[in-house]
Amino acid sequence: MAVVVNVHHVKLLISIPLKAAYHQFMLHRIITLPERISLDKFIQYTTGYAFLGLQTSQRDYILLSESDFDKCSNGDVVVCPVNTAVYSIHM
């Protein structure tokens, strides 16, 4: 819980973990390979995210930057905070 206060407002922020939802994702590191554009020149694309998590049903996915991934707890299973957005392939 956190309280944010300024001259005009007082806001109470509460973080509530979702205990009823069960989501399991296979986490993949995104690696971009250099691409040849001429005989002696290569380019390499960069992405805004270092990791792609794909749900086991392959219908939903998450995108994580390095800093987002650092917030996840590592053990036998990687657990990320519930504020990670889950995207659907049907959108």
What are the residue boundaries of the structural domains of the chain, listed by start? 19-88
Going residue by residue through the chain (91 aa), what tens digit of pLDDT does each one get?
566 667 666 776 665 444 445 567 888 888 888 888 999 999 998 888 888 888 877 888 888 888 888 887 777 767 777 677 788 877 5
Q: What is the pTM of this model?
A: 0.61
- Among the listed residues 17, 20, 18, 86, the one whose alpha carbon sits nearest the alpha carbon of residue 57: 86
In angstroms, the Cα distances linking 13 to 8, 16, 23, 72, 88 are 16, 10, 24, 21, 27
